[in-house]
């Protein structure tokens, strides 16, 4: 059996600024150490590090199909974007899903109204109404506002607990309240790729992610390298036990991160959770 190993090298470019001169004040020492020539600043990035980073992305692009081994063949994936998610990254992720043999069932965009703390009353009221209309068992009875809306979102884009017509009604209600936009004719998929964007309140994000995870077969949350810091959205999620069912991947702005995200999607069909990427606690990439 062939195994693959990824070595991720982070590109670090350091720019040194040199002082133009040192003034020591008046008197006989005032000219000592002074150099009126413009100081040269080193602005050239480390070429070796650049080449290593580029090699990692080139390797990911060239090896993606072999690494995937058709792991998403005849599978569909729902993509959910948080406000501020980069459109080019979302498109690249969709292309990688297809490279793995799968198809994007629909791309759903969470709107700022859902993540705005000042709109909590609207989110809570609509969530309660929809839960009542769907009947007992569809949504957890004793859950918080954002866990409930996350479960409803999961039922709309991923869950199989509802008839298709009911799922479409949920999507329409979320769209009517300007909480979500969805493409015409979108269908549900068992696994979900959630793409982070601008900073989201941790309580809101945790609730939405845990609710989604409860209704999807597999959920993979992806963010940029910057979001993996301890104060970034991905970093905060990784420290929250309430969302341990969701897998996380950082560095998704790069081809290497995008390939890792799809490998995590393949894994999520059978195994939930895991933290992957350059800052992932479970390794750079999921085991093939």
CA 273 – CA 216 distance, rounded (Å): 12
Strand partners for 78: 106, 192
Q: What is the pLDDT of residue 45?
A: 62
Query: For 187-214, what is the mean pLDDT?
Result: 97
CA 12 – CA 131 distance, rounded (Å): 49
Q: Given CA atoms 87, 200, 263, 279 in this order, what sign does their dihedral have? A: positive
* 3-class state of residue 166 by DSSP: helix
- The better pLDDT of the pair 58, 42 is held by 58
Closest CA to 250 of 282, 203, 212: 282
Is a pLDDT exceeding 50 seen at residue 230?
Answer: yes
CA 215 – CA 153 distance, rounded (Å): 9
- Pairing state between β 275-276 and 247-249: parallel
Q: Which domains does the chain have, with CATH numbers?
A: 70-276 (3.40.50)
Is a pLDDT exceeding 90 seen at residue 272?
Answer: yes
- A 10 A CB-CB count for 22 gives 9
Is a pLDDT exceeding 70 seen at residue 245?
Answer: yes
- The better pLDDT of the pair 180, 31 is held by 180
Helices 87-99/47-68 angle, 10° precision:
40
């Amino acid at each position: 059996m062939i195994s693959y190993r990824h070595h991720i090298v982070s590109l670090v470019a350091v720019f040194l600024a040199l002082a133009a001169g040192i003034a020591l004040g008046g008197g006989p020492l005032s000219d000592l150490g002074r150099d009126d020539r413009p100081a040269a600043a080193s602005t050239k990035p480390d070429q070796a590090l650049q080449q290593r980073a580029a090699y990692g992305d080139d390797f990911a692009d060239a090896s993606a199909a072999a690494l995937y081994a058709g792991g998403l063949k005849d599978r569909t994936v729902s993509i959910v974007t948080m406000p501020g998610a980069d459109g080019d990254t979302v498109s690249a992720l969709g292309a990688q899903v297809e490279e793995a043999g799968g198809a994007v069932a629909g791309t759903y965009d969470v709107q700022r109204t859902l993540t705005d703390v000042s709109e909590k009353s609207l989110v809570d009221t609509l969530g309660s109404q929809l839960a009542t209309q769907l009947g007992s068992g569809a949504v957890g009875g004793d859950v918080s506002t954002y866990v409930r809306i996350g479960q409803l979102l999961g039922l709309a884009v991923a869950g199989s607990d509802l008839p298709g017509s009911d799922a479409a009604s949920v999507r329409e209600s979320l769209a009517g309240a300007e909480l979500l936009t969805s493409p015409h004719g979108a269908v549900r998929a068992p696994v979900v790729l959630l793409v982070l964007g601008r900073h989201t309140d941790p309580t809101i994000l945790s609730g939405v992610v845990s609710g989604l995870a409860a209704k999807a077969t597999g959920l993979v949350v992806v963010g940029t390298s910057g979001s993996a810091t301890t104060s970034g959205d991905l970093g905060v999620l990784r420290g929250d036990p309430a969302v341990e069912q969701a897998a996380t991947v950082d560095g998704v702005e790069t081809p290497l991160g995008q390939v890792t995200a799809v490998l995590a999607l393949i894994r999520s069909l059978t195994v939930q959770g895991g933290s992957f990427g350059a800052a992932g606690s479970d390794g750079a990439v999921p085991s093939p």
